[in-house]
Structure 1
Amino acid sequence: MTHPPTVTLTLVEGRLDRTEYVFDERTTAVLGRARDCSLRLPNDKHHRTVSRHHCLLDINPPEIRIRDFGSLNGTFVNGRKIGQRESGQTPEEAATRKFPERNLDDGDEIRVGATVFRIGVEVQHTLAQVRCRKCGRDVSGETRVRDGEYLCASCQAEPGAMLRMLLGLAHPEHEELSSIAGFTLLKELGRGGMGAVHLARHESSGEEVALKLMLPKVAVRLEARARFLREMVLTQALSHPNIARLHSSGFSNGTFFFTSEYCTGGSLDLLVDRNGGRLPVEEGIRIICQALEGLAHAHREGVIHRDLSPSNILLHNEAGGSTTAKISDFGLGKAFDRAGLSGLTRTGETAGKPWFMPRQQVSDFKNATAAGDVWALAACLYHILTGQYPRDFARDRDVWQVVLDMPAVPVREREPNIPRVLADVIDKALLEEPVIGFQTAEEFRDALLTAVESH
């Protein structure tokens, strides 16, 4: 059995509580003087030029990348600055510039203030050749990990072709594909950086499902596959009218696939677009309160979503003409990321877009909480009522630094017509210091309903 790759930060200079930090799974680490930094540096005379949130380490062993946030004196890699704001610039002005990132490797040294770390990268070397599971091309140059299944970049760019291949292989003797056997693709419903989702119909039963494909950006090791699918078992157990049911999940040929409840009304973000960028207050409150019902049930079962946005709040048109909101993809995207399957997602050109993400999910990558989900749903409500995000994301500003440093703008500054009693509830829900305003979905739902009734 091969050992998982690791990334180690060893303290070379400076005074910290620990002298070594070992990472053997996907994470991020923020370096700086702020209390919420995962690698907190001393607030002393040797670190006066270190910013509260100075730089970000994006770690997915054996890969590690560093990104400077526009600090006063920059971050040094092997003695060379990779980011520094100019003399006279404020942190806000500096943040509008794009600062370089650097991939780090074994033996590199990074310096922040008077603290120096040496990077250690350990990966078990093998002469094994890695071939794309679909086209068979040698892709050894695309991945440093040799003991996993991998799809080349060209095949990842065609998720529909990959899905059709899996459906063609879904015969009775292929037990791993049994959950998608007998389905026919009807149309593509959407696609993103991690894959695509199609509407599919079962040939004999006529059942229609959303058939989703997720394409890992790294070689899939056995441990990562098992970790991710274990989380999906918890999600499959969720049964509630305001949760889109996950029917099945599986893995084959370097690809993860899922079947889930198909919601005929599309997603909330599409509804908002069709309505000119915002919804009436009554409609927005009704949809979010339904989503909070589903969220409360999941939290009682110990399941955290971690990635709520209007795109994964789905709408189902009921027989009587009413519409029911259902949260989809419970834990899917973030569990994929936490298992290391989506590569480096906090840096690079394809860095995530944390428009609806609470600060804690940047500063504390692993420990997402129920309150974080509540904050995200409050951000969704804010967005569908105002057409804007709670935080000001200036063009070219580092989005992660915005999340770490900027509070939500009071909602009536975006939309003065929102009743003050309702605005007070939304603003409270988007507080993050010292704690998130509403700790449970039930608390937020009750406060919204009371505000509506009193208006």
Structure 2
Amino acid sequence: MTLVIESGPLKGQKFHFNSRTTCVIGRGQGCIPLLPNDSSHQTVSRYHCLLDVNPPFSIRIRDLNSKNGTFVNGQILGKDIKDTVAGNIKYEMKLNDGDRFKLGYTSFAVLINSKPSKENIDQNFLNLNSSIKGNLFFNLPNDSANNSSGLPILPTIEGYTILDVLGRGRTSQVHSIRHNETGQIMALKVLQPQSGKQSGNQWEKIASFLRDLENLKKLRHPNIIQLIDYGYWGGQFFLILEHCPGENVIKLMQQQGKCLSVEKSLEIIFQVLDGLDYAHHLDVPFGKQANVLSDGKGLFHGTLKPANIFLSGVLSGVLSGVLSGVKPNTPQEVKIRVKLSDYALDKAFDLAGLGGLTMTGIKPRQPIFICRQQAIDFRCVQAELDVWTAAACLYFMLTGRFVRNFVGENPWLTVLQTEPVPIGDRHPGIPKALAELVDLALGDRGHIYFKKAAAFKQALESVYP
């Protein structure tokens, strides 16, 4: 997939896309392509439009509430132009081979030059090196022919019994599962790729994600939920994970009111930072994967948020009572144990191109807990971005509010154009030294101050020991 500039000062430049990405086009810092800030482009906004790209065939364009709109094939997108069907402003649309769009005096052509592949995905899987296929063995259930639920058929997994449904998402469902020999309860996560088998390079995407899973199996830390094993069957990925029976930070905040105390918030975030620091320095077998940090070592989480920070008691399952002020029945102290779920999993799935177009469409991913750098560069993988998000989670626990004021229809534009709200404005009762440190950690105009999780933790300990 190629984007060719056909007119304007950048005429002749080409941008090739051979992997899942997004890009923001405009005159603002970090835009790719970056348009000139001259008289012929004064009608172009700093952050004008977003391209959501999943080669070889899928690409959508979204106007970012630009002042003058984005012209696609001569028709304007955005700028109060009403969709005659929905009655709303039409901000985005799918782009096809040969389509053209224009910003100021710069026009772009979209070239999609691949043809659908008729490859046999399952046969290619059989030919894959066994070291990255996982160790799960599958069989069709006996009553599969009578399935009328409309849900995907789950196979039987040798050595396990699938139990209850724990939850469902856009691309996944989670079940509790029991190991038949030990009786241990685990979690089974089923991931359904959102790009079809006839998508040209689908097999490469599957093989890439299997390498990601092999990397994730190396994570062994008390603050990270462990991936025990995985497999691929019938067009779906099956992941056996450590089961965490506790609640997440969101539910704890709902139990305790709008926000958490300084002490409780720091107790949680210190363990989050410990998990991040470990993962950021981990040796992995496949060092060239997209979610491996830029030095070829360490894993980038990429989607950290309060909802996937799980909590449990070290000694027993009485976490809710302990956090509510109820003393345990034993004289031993029950402390919070933090468990990060889905470490690097969602980001790897998306980077592999298996999540579809996640930044546009009916239910796009919301950028509530990502910094400006990550909003501009989808494929940016740096430890400091995770540290920024950890600071945003701390901010949320302390205040019950997001880092930015998300108003209007386009949260991406909020991230790109506005600054984080000082934490003292949200909660004046936070100690001044702690508030100043959190604000320092959340600055994302230019560079991010704390590059390492351990450095941020040490700084927090120095102002609130």
How far is the alpha carbon of 1:158 from its aligned partner? Answer: 7.1
Structure 1 residue corresponding to 2:311, chosen from 299, 315, 318:
315
**Does structure 2 conserve the Cα–Cα contact (< 8 Å) formed by 1:71 and 1:85?**
no
The answer as to 2:278 corresponding to 1:297 is: yes
Structure 2 residue corresponding to 1:108, chosen from 99, 110, 127:
99
The answer as to 2:67 corresponding to 1:72 is: yes
Q: Which residue of 2 aligns with 1:432?
A: 444
Superposed, 1:356-367 pairs within 5 Å as 356-367=369-380
Q: Which residue of 2 aligns with 1:243?
A: 224
The change in CA–CA distance for 1:277 and 1:184 in structure 2 (over 3 A counts) is farther
The answer as to 2:170 corresponding to 1:193 is: yes
Q: Which residue of 2 aligns with 1:59?
A: 53
- Structure 2 Cα separation of the partners of residues 257 and 222 of structure 1: 17
Given residue 63 of structure 1, which amino acid in structure 2 is its aligned partner? Answer: S
The change in CA–CA distance for 1:198 and 1:114 in structure 2 (over 3 A counts) is same
Q: Which residue of 1 aligns with 2:31?
A: 37
Q: How many residues align?
A: 397
TM-score (norm 1): 0.83
How far is the alpha carbon of 1:433 from its aligned partner? Answer: 2.0
Q: Which residue of 2 aligns with 1:446?
A: 458
Structure 1 residue corresponding to 2:423, chosen from 380, 399, 411:
411
How far is the alpha carbon of 1:342 from its aligned partner? Answer: 1.0
Equivalent position SS for 2:31 = coil
Given residue 224 of structure 1, which amino acid in structure 2 is its aligned partner? Answer: K
How far is the alpha carbon of 1:98 from its aligned partner? Answer: 4.7
Given residue 459 of structure 2, which amino acid in structure 1 is its aligned partner? Answer: A
How far is the alpha carbon of 1:70 from its aligned partner? Answer: 1.6
- Structure 2 Cα separation of the partners of residues 282 and 231 of structure 1: 36
- Structure 2 Cα separation of the partners of residues 348 and 261 of structure 1: 33
- Structure 1 Cα separation of the partners of residues 117 and 447 of structure 2: 48
The change in CA–CA distance for 1:50 and 1:443 in structure 2 (over 3 A counts) is same
The answer as to 2:22 corresponding to 1:28 is: yes
Query: Which deviates more, 307-316 or 264-273?
Result: 264-273
Q: Which residue of 2 aligns with 1:209?
A: 186
The answer as to 2:366 corresponding to 1:368 is: no
Structure 2 residue corresponding to 1:166, chosen from 155, 170, 173:
155
Given residue 53 of structure 2, which amino acid in structure 1 is its aligned partner? Answer: I
Q: Which residue of 2 aligns with 1:10?
A: 4
The change in CA–CA distance for 1:186 and 1:271 in structure 2 (over 3 A counts) is farther
How far is the alpha carbon of 1:277 from its aligned partner? Answer: 3.1
Give per-residue Cα distances to partners, 1:224-274, cap 9 Å, x unaligned: 011111112111111111111111122111111111111221222222222
Q: Which residue of 2 aligns with 1:339?
A: 352
The change in CA–CA distance for 1:17 and 1:297 in structure 2 (over 3 A counts) is farther
Equivalent position SS for 1:442 = helix
Given residue 29 of structure 2, which amino acid in structure 1 is its aligned partner? Answer: R
- Structure 2 Cα separation of the partners of residues 350 and 283 of structure 1: 33
Superposed, 1:113-152 pairs within 5 Å as 113-125=104-116
The change in CA–CA distance for 1:277 and 1:370 in structure 2 (over 3 A counts) is same
How far is the alpha carbon of 1:374 from its aligned partner? Answer: 0.4
The answer as to 2:159 corresponding to 1:182 is: yes
Give per-residue Cα distances to partners, 1:113-160, cap 9 Å, x unaligned: 1101111112314689999xxxxxxxxxxxxxxxxxxxxxxxxx979x
Given residue 91 of structure 2, which amino acid in structure 1 is its aligned partner? Answer: P
Q: Which residue of 1 aligns with 2:238?
A: 257
Given residue 77 of structure 1, which amino acid in structure 2 is its aligned partner? Answer: V
**Does structure 2 conserve the Cα–Cα contact (< 8 Å) formed by 1:73 and 1:85?**
no
How far is the alpha carbon of 1:84 from its aligned partner? Answer: 2.0
TM-score (norm 2): 0.81
- Structure 1 Cα separation of the partners of residues 247 and 114 of structure 2: 44
**Does structure 2 conserve the Cα–Cα contact (< 8 Å) formed by 1:360 and 1:368?**
no
- Structure 1 Cα separation of the partners of residues 373 and 381 of structure 2: 7
- Structure 2 Cα separation of the partners of residues 409 and 119 of structure 1: 39
Q: Which residue of 2 aligns with 1:354?
A: 367
**Does structure 2 conserve the Cα–Cα contact (< 8 Å) formed by 1:69 and 1:99?**
no
- Structure 1 Cα separation of the partners of residues 441 and 121 of structure 2: 48
Gaps of 5+ in 2: 82-87, 123-147, 283-297, 316-331
Identity percentage of aligned residues: 41
Given residue 93 of structure 2, which amino acid in structure 1 is its aligned partner? Answer: R
Given residue 413 of structure 2, which amino acid in structure 1 is its aligned partner? Answer: Q
**Does structure 1 conserve the Cα–Cα contact (< 8 Å) formed by 2:79 and 2:89?**
no
**Does structure 2 conserve the Cα–Cα contact (< 8 Å) formed by 1:30 and 1:37?**
yes
Equivalent position SS for 1:382 = helix
Q: Which residue of 1 aligns with 2:320?
A: none
The change in CA–CA distance for 1:129 and 1:253 in structure 2 (over 3 A counts) is closer
Q: Which residue of 1 aligns with 2:209?
A: 228
The change in CA–CA distance for 1:10 and 1:244 in structure 2 (over 3 A counts) is same
Structure 1 residue corresponding to 2:248, chosen from 243, 247, 267:
267
How far is the alpha carbon of 1:49 from its aligned partner? Answer: 1.2
**Does structure 2 conserve the Cα–Cα contact (< 8 Å) formed by 1:49 and 1:72?**
yes
- Structure 2 Cα separation of the partners of residues 400 and 243 of structure 1: 29
The answer as to 2:390 corresponding to 1:377 is: yes
- Structure 2 Cα separation of the partners of residues 357 and 241 of structure 1: 25
Q: Which residue of 2 aligns with 1:421?
A: 433
Q: Which residue of 2 aligns with 1:134?
A: none
**Does structure 2 conserve the Cα–Cα contact (< 8 Å) formed by 1:264 and 1:317?**
no
**Does structure 1 conserve the Cα–Cα contact (< 8 Å) formed by 2:387 and 2:450?**
yes
The answer as to 2:81 corresponding to 1:81 is: no
**Does structure 2 conserve the Cα–Cα contact (< 8 Å) formed by 1:53 and 1:401?**
yes
How far is the alpha carbon of 1:316 from its aligned partner? Answer: 2.7
Equivalent position SS for 1:39 = coil
The change in CA–CA distance for 1:345 and 1:126 in structure 2 (over 3 A counts) is closer
